[in-house]
Amino acid sequence: MSIAKPQGTTGEYFEKMGITPELCRSIMSTALQHGGDNCDLYFQHSASTSVQLTDGKVSQASTSLDLGMGVRVIQGDQVGYSYSEDLSPSALHNAAQVAAQIASHQQNKTVAVPNKYNIPNYYPVSQPWDEVTMAHRVELLRKWEKMAFDMDNRVKRVDVYVQDGASVVMLVRADGRMTEDWRPSTLGYIQCTVEENGVRESNSYNVAARAGLEYYTEDRQTRLVKEAVHRAIFQLSAISPPAGEMPVVLAAGPSAILLHEAIGHGLEADFNRKNISIFSSKMNQQIANSHVTIVDDGTIENSRGAVNIDDEGNDSQRTVLVENGILRSYLHDSISAKHFQVAPTGSGRRQSFRHTPIPRMRATIMENGPHSPEEIIASVKHGIYCSSFANGQVNIGGGDFAFYVKQGYLIEDGKLTQPIKDVNVIGNGPDALSKMDMIGNDLVIDEGGWTCGKDGQGVPVSQGMPTVRVSSLTIGGMG
Amino acid sequence: MQHTITSEFLADTANSIMKLAQSLGAEEVSVQISHSVSTELTQRAGIIEKSQQSNSLGVGIELLVDGRFSGHSASDIRLESLQPFIQRAIDATRYLEVDKNRMLPDISIMGSASADIQAYDSAIEHRTAEQRSASLQELETTCLTLSADAPVRSITTHVWDSYENSQVCASNGFTAGWKRSGFGAGAEITMVDANDRLPEAYDYRSTRYLEDVPSAHTLASSILEKGSSRLRSRNIPSAKLPILIENRVAGKLIGMILSAMQGNNIYENRSFLVGKRGQSMASSALQIESNPLVPRGLASKPFDNDGLPSTIMPLVQDGVLQCYFLNVYNARRLQDTPTTGSAGNIIIPPTNTTPQYILESLPKVISVEGFLGGNSNTVTGDFSFGITGRYFENGKCVQSVSEMNISGNIFDILAKFETACSDVWTYSNYRLPSLLFTDVQCSGV
């Protein structure tokens, strides 16, 4: 089940449900009846499908359909929010009445006539999911399962699923800006369980994008399956690394979880507006090696973190956060942008109409540096090389972060030796930034289905980086 | 607060949806419909920063069509909207393969527990905006008063409450429903430390009854103590040390066991507990029970997701694994007897030993008061978690700890379980006391 891309002009999709520009204006007038600086309406209609192969059978499927509107009233740094799953005018006005309670002034604010804005398209799709049959999805899963079993006879079990969906969102603001976006998505996942000499291990790989069926090229399908099989077999011979502080080399691509946890969250402007991020007092200061440039980019075509507009209706953009080691910008929503008197960076995002937008990352990327990956590995006498990851977390104010390394290698005398697995790596954001002393020239944007959690909301994100050496982090190994 | 949607309306709607699905070709149908209302207020620096209210209606539908299974959810429950949705769902289900283990349970084993779980406090019906604002104001004022001399950068306070009414209807004749309420309060504190660090701490308390929410003074004292304990933290040398895991975070470790007990992990041979039922898996001091019938317990419920009546279930007795979590589907796949697919309140019986006594009686011990990241391997039981807390020597806190990990294998650490303490945390599904383990690998400097 999916939603086809609307073919009409901005607003026509929801107008067929009775949501006219005039009604939107009327709802916002209700929302601003007690005053307030601004107000927005966020309409969303989304559908998704997930089909799973397990036990050798494609015998599980699920679909969901969601429709609703969130109304937000902003007064200074204060937010009143409510939502309705009922799009009747009376229900929408009721939601607006609830959100209006945050404001305390009695004067009405003028609501501008909605003006339709056209937006760019960073997620072109040639085979949309609404045109893909269930039979085709089943065929895809069967193919991946067979590929995995054919790849290695140690593979004993394969579980596969493919998810896809699409949302139509419409933003209408009291300042008159009216935008509409169609957001496709897909995620392909495979988990392999392998067995050798009575030892069982399991591991997985996934790929995700804002794309249609065309995303699953033959190359990508092969890589998806190959990676899952390889990662499961890798586990069989991997050990827990030694514990303690040591140099860490982060492989190009998924290692950007370090960027996301150690730096990205701390640069979200809501934390800095409240002065509770460890980066709050660091603007325009040198916070990293001069080879370090970090951007957060919502415009990378078809990436999972791409947004044509953010969830406040602001333009998406490529935001330079750290330039040659100097902190240049936070990630702003409209509230923090007003607080800091800068333009929004298109970073106000939300999980759905049930949530308020807050500053979030999109695709967080460290740009290339001057070193080759080979010379970076060769420079380490005793340390670890981290190549795949499961999850991470950060304490915003203290700056402490952690990420879980699913796989990697020991580095001994400049060479990758013993495979390692399942270890938590921990450090402090600014400290780790200052210890990034070699930056590779092999940037990879990871294709995995990362989801970032904050304030109870999950949003899709992307990340990427070249190979990087951090001179010291704490490894949670054994002995 | 809107409680105008009655149980009768929800049950009738569920029944109509079930009949609609049957008329469109489904042979077995289970429908769960829920109405929820929630309010949350957040305050910082004397003003309400966020006021959020939600009023939500949703339906979950499980279908069996020609022996094929699928599950669906929707937020628009109008029959005219659901009809094409369900029709498409049924059509899509026909492309799947037959799974003979998918069918509704026999009606004879379904039902609701008769125990009074006290899940619903009618105080939710009378909760006003003024009361919430007053609670929030009192909490913030108390926090600011108690922390007046502390190096505090920011305090954010929250109060929330919620209401949910769920009704279930299945084509085998099973119908049931229940209501629950929720209340809570909490705060986050950010301290000012050396080297521009701003360590933070939190304390949130959720309850079923309004009268069980702790006083503003209790919460404010707790949050200030937790914030102060994060000052001047650093890692200490790697060593094998006893660790006392604080009650409110002990669920992180126990959750590893529960995950490995899940029927799908057992069936798929992806659990370190495969083949361990009836065998010793931990120190004989360890007792764990799933109890979904605790009055006012946050994980209490009259029936599980299959419609089986809730029952108390010993999970680990004297260190011996007693059972797996087997819902009806996984039990059929394993040719076993269903227990339940979902845990109730997880309980480890308290003892008379206080955490303070343990910290004072051991020459060296880390009090683990928070986790940061980390994960575990359900197949092997290997784990590695970041920790924060305090390091004690002979009863004296000598270092606030951060940037450290604990690592090992679940069987090793469970064998080193020494004792539970007296201080049961009741504000979570995990109603656990603080837990002492010996000789755990702690990695730092």
Write the DSSP assignment of B353-387 as a string of letters: --HHHHHHHSSEEEEEEEEEEEEE-TTT-EEEEEE
Select the residue of B75, B376, B445 nearest A67 (Cβ to Cβ).
Answer: B75
Cβ separation A391–B70 shorter than 8 A? no
Is B234 part of the contact surface with chain A (CB cutoff 8 Å)?
no
- The three-state secondary structure class of A423 is strand
Q: Across the A/B interface, how many CB contacts are shorter than 8 Å?
A: 249
- A65 closest CB neighbour out of B76, B441, B444: B76
The residues, ordered by sequence, that sit 6+ positions from A152 with a Cβ below 8 Å of its Cβ are A194, A229, A233
pLDDT of residue A2: 84
Determine the residue among A426, A428, A470, A472 to mutate to test chain B binding: the one whose Cβ has the most chain B Cβ atoms within 10 Å: A426
Cα(A239)–Cα(A281) distance, rounded to whole angstroms? 41
ipTM of the complex: 0.89
SS (H, E, C) B30-97: EEEEEEEEEEEEEEECCEEEEEEEEEEEEEEEEEEECCEEEEEEECCCCHHHHHHHHHHHHHHHCCCC
- Please give the pLDDT value at position A107: 67
d(CA B419, CA B439): 14
Closest CA to A284 of A312, A314, A253, A324: A324
Average model confidence (pLDDT) for chain B? Answer: 95
Q: How far apart are CA B392 and CA B400, in angstroms?
A: 9
In contact, B214 and B184? CB cutoff 8 Å: no
* Angle value at C-alpha A188, between A182 and A191, nearest 5 degrees: 155
pLDDT one digit per residue (tens) for chain A, 479 residues: 789 999 989 999 999 999 999 999 999 999 999 999 999 999 999 999 999 999 899 988 999 999 999 999 999 899 999 999 989 999 999 999 999 988 877 666 789 999 999 999 999 999 999 999 999 999 999 999 999 999 999 999 999 999 999 999 999 999 999 999 999 999 999 999 999 999 999 999 999 999 999 999 999 999 999 999 999 999 999 998 988 899 999 999 999 998 999 899 999 999 999 999 999 989 999 999 999 999 999 999 999 999 999 999 999 999 999 999 999 999 999 999 999 999 999 999 999 999 999 999 999 999 999 999 999 999 999 999 999 998 889 888 888 999 999 999 999 999 999 999 999 999 998 999 999 999 999 999 999 999 999 999 999 999 999 999 999 999 987 76
Q: Please list, residue by residue across B121-160, b when 16 or more beta carbons sit within 10 angstroms of its beta carbon and e when fewer do.
A: beebeebeeeebeebbbbbbebbeebbeeeebbbbbbbbb
Q: How far is CA A412 from CA A209, A384, A436, B363, in A?
A: 37, 8, 20, 37
Per-residue pLDDT tens for B35-87?
Answer: 999 999 999 999 999 999 988 999 999 999 999 999 999 998 888 888 999 99
Helical ranges in A71-177 per DSSP H:
89-100, 134-151
- CB proximity B265 to A under 8 Å: no
Q: Given an 8 Å threshold on Cβ–Cβ distance, is A398 in contact with B55?
A: no
Minimal-distance CA residue of chain A relative to B196:
A278
Token pair listed for B302: 């009259």
| C-beta of residue B405 within 8 angstroms of C-beta of residue A476 | yes
Task: Decide: residue B169, CB within 10 A, 0-12 exposed, 13-18 middle, 19+ buried.
Answer: buried
The pair phi, psi for residue A228, each rounded to 5°, is -65, -45
Report residue B339 as tokens: 């227990």
CB B340 within 8 A of CB B302: no
Buried b (16+ CB within 10 A) or exposed e, B221-251: bbbbebbbbbeebebbebeebbbbbbbbbbb
> β-strands A38-54, A155-173: how paired?
antiparallel
Which residue in the block uniquely carries the two structure tokens 């929630």? B38
| DSSP designation for A260 | I
Residues B96, A138: C-beta atoms closer than 8 Å:
yes
Note whether A334 and A372 are within 8 A (CB). no
Chain mean position to CA B257: 14
pLDDT tier at B1 (50, 70, 90 boundaries)?
Answer: very low
Instruction: Identify the residue among B33, B193, B372, B385 best suited for mutation to test binding to A, counting A beta carbons within 10 A and taking the highest.
Output: B372
pLDDT, tens digit (0-9, with 9 covering 90-100), for B385-403: 999 999 999 999 999 999 8
A251-269 burial, b if ≥16 CB within 10 A, otherwise e? bbbbbbbbbbbbbbbbbbb
Going from the C-alpha of A269 to that of each of A281, A283, B195, the distances in angstroms are 12, 11, 21
With a cut of 90, say whether residue B261 has pLDDT above it.
yes
Q: Which of B:167-226 have CB within 8 Å of A?
A: 190-191, 193, 196-200
Name the closest residue on chain B to residue A141, using Cα atoms.
Answer: B96
Give CA–CA dist B106/A60, Å, rounded.
21
The CA distance from B31 to the nearest CA of chain A, in Å, is 14
Residues of A in contact with B382 (CB under 8 A): 240, 421-422
Do B99 and A59 make contact, defined as CB atoms within 8 angstroms?
yes
Q: Show the DSSP H helices in A278-423 as ranges.
A: 334-340, 373-378
- By the 8 A CB rule, do A276 and A396 touch? yes
Cα–Cα distance for residue pair A61/B90, rounded to 1 Å: 11
Contacts of A424 in chain B (CB under 8 A): 373-375, 384-386, 405, 407
Q: Give the whole-angstrom CA distance, residue A118 versus residue A121.
A: 10
Contact list in A for residue B64 (CB cut-off 8 A) is none
pLDDT-above-90 percentage for chain B: 94
Please return the burial class of A437, using the count of CB atoms within 10 Å of its CB with bins 0-12, 13-18 and 19+. middle
Q: Is B50 within 8 Å of A159 when comparing Cβ atoms?
A: no
DSSP-derived pairing of the beta strands B313-317 and B320-321: antiparallel
Separation CA A412–CA A380 (nearest Å): 7
Nearest to B200 among A244, A396, A428 (CB): A396
A464 burial type by CB count under 10 A (0-12 exposed, 13-18 middle, 19+ buried): buried
pLDDT recorded at residue A55: 84
DSSP conformational letter for A124:
-
pLDDT in tens, B83-109: 999 999 999 899 999 999 999 999 999
Residue with tokens 């309140």: B345
Give the three-class secondary structure for A209. strand
* Cα gap A111→B115, rounded to integer Å: 55
Alpha carbon distance B73, A66 (integer Å): 8
Q: State the Cα torsion B85-B86-B87-B93 to the nearest 10°.
A: 110
Closest listed residue to residue A366, CA positions, set A323, A329, A327, A328:
A323
Considering only the beta carbons, identify the residue of B50, B51, B407 that sits closest to A243. Answer: B407
Min Cα–Cα distance to chain A from B64, Å:
11
User: In terms of residues, how long is chain A?
Assistant: 479
pLDDT value for B83: 92
Who among B91, B96, B198 is closest to A397 (CB)?
B198
Give the number of C-alpha atoms closer than 13 A to the C-alpha of residue B36, restricted to the C-beta side: 20
* Euclidean distance between CA atoms B320 and A214, whole angstroms: 52
On whether any CB of chain A is under 8 Å from the CB of B388, the answer is yes
CB contact under 8 A, B403 and A274: no
Question: For residues B252 and B368, what is the distance between their CA atoms, to the nearest angstrom?
Answer: 11
In this structure, what are the phi and psi dihedrals at residue B234, rounded to the nearest 5 degrees?
A: -165, 175
Between chains, do A78 and B49 touch, taking CB under 8 Å as contact? yes
- Closest chain A CA to residue B62: A62
Q: What are the backbone dihedrals phi and psi of residue B10, each rounded to the nearest 5 degrees, phi first?
A: -65, -45
Question: What's the CA gap between A458 and B225, in Å, rounded?
Answer: 31
Residues from chain B that touch A243, judged by Cβ atoms under 8 A, are: 238, 405, 407, 441, 443
Q: How many CB atoms lie within 10 A of CB A281?
A: 11
> How open is the CA angle B223-B229-B231, to the nearest 5 degrees?
115
- Predicted TM-score (pTM) of this structure: 0.93
Pairwise CA distance, residues A446 & A49, whole Å: 24
The closest alpha carbon to B323, from B309, B307, B308, B312, belongs to B312
Would you call B441 and A479 a contact, using CB atoms and an 8 Å cutoff?
yes
Residues 6+ apart with CB under 8 A from B78: none
